Amino acid sequence: MSAVDPQDKNPKIEQAGASDESIQQVHSILLREKPEPEENHSPMPLFLLGFISAMVLMVAIYFVHNSGGLSQSFSFKQAAMVYDERFDPKNAPSAGAEVKIDPLALGKKNYASVCAACHQPNGLGVPGVYPPLAKSEWVTGSEERIIRILLHGLQGPIKVEGKEYNSAMPAIGPGGYNFSDERIAAVLTYIRQEWGNSAPAVTKEKVTEIRTKAAAGRTTAWTSAELDAIP
């Protein structure tokens, strides 16, 4: 159909009817030049956004109701900083409630950290050097005496389970190991009920009473002769 002679350079004629060739050439250029790429973020579907927000809210509400005692600080001593799956808000102690410390557990811990070095973990002591606490008549006897031994120490000759010792034990109370009355009561309760010993518990009130009244002002260690005079 092309009637235009490719050799004919007359622009007027070219305008009137472009050759197949030139049309193809122009199109090929147009096809090569793709549109500029543009940033293309398709917005999140609204329903998905709503669904996720609802989930987050529900999880937050669920956690508040099932937080397992996490940071439910009823008092400073009670502050639970770990998740406890058995936590039951109904059984939680009320605000300001004193936490009961098991004297035997406290006593055992303090025995291990201080007394065991000399009296040994099994309470049998070291023959000739450190007297035994297991089955000792001092331990299971009058609390008046052992409270004093712990408060201020003990020195000089002493007979325990028929054997003589002559050494010195440092004060465990103020000025020595600085045990509180509560720790002294706990460790005494522990040694009175461990290794087959069975004697009544010692209260911290009794320790306080002896420290502040009966033996007030005492700073030196006791001797067994002095203690024998105390009922």
| CB of 174 vs ligand HEC, minimal distance in Å | 14
| Residues contacting residue 175 through CB under 8 Å, at least 6 positions apart | 219
Binding mask 177-196 for ligand HEC (x = CB under 6 A): ----------x---x-----
CB nearer to ligand HEC: pick between 14 and 226: 226
CA distance 196 to 190: 11
Contact pick of 167, 197, 203, 208 for ligand HEC (by CB under 6 A): 167
Under the binding rule (CB under 6 A), the answer on residue 120 touching ligand HEC is: no
CA distance 167 to 220: 15
Q: Please identify, among the stretches 21-29, 67-75, 89-97, 136-144, the one whose residues bind ligand HEC according to the rule CB under 6 A.
A: 136-144
User: What is the gyration radius of the CA atoms in the chain, in angstroms?
Assistant: 45
Element (H, E) at 169: strand 163-169
Amino acid at 108: K
Under the binding rule (CB under 6 A), the answer on residue 160 touching ligand HEC is: yes
Contact pick of 69, 139, 186, 189 for ligand HEC (by CB under 6 A): 139
Beta bridge partners of 166: 157
| CB of 146 vs ligand HEC, minimal distance in Å | 5
Instruction: Supply the angle between the helices 181-193 and 103-110 in degrees, to the nearest 10.
Output: 90
CB nearer to ligand HEC: pick between 149 and 215: 149
Q: Phi and psi of 77, rounded to 5°?
A: -70, -20
Amino acid at 216: A
Q: Report yes or no: 125 and 136 within 8 Å, Cβ to Cβ.
A: no
Under the binding rule (CB under 6 A), the answer on residue 210 touching ligand HEC is: no
| CB of 165 vs ligand HEC, minimal distance in Å | 4
DSSP codes of every residue in 4-63: S-TT---HHHHHHS--HHHHHHHHHHHHHSPPPP----PPPPHHHHHHHHHHHHHHHHHH
| CB of 213 vs ligand HEC, minimal distance in Å | 21
Contact pick of 108, 146, 171, 192 for ligand HEC (by CB under 6 A): 146
CB nearer to ligand HEC: pick between 69 and 169: 169
Interface positions with ligand HEC (CB under 6 A): 114-115, 117-119, 130-133, 136, 138-139, 146, 149-150, 154-156, 158, 160, 165-170, 172, 187, 191
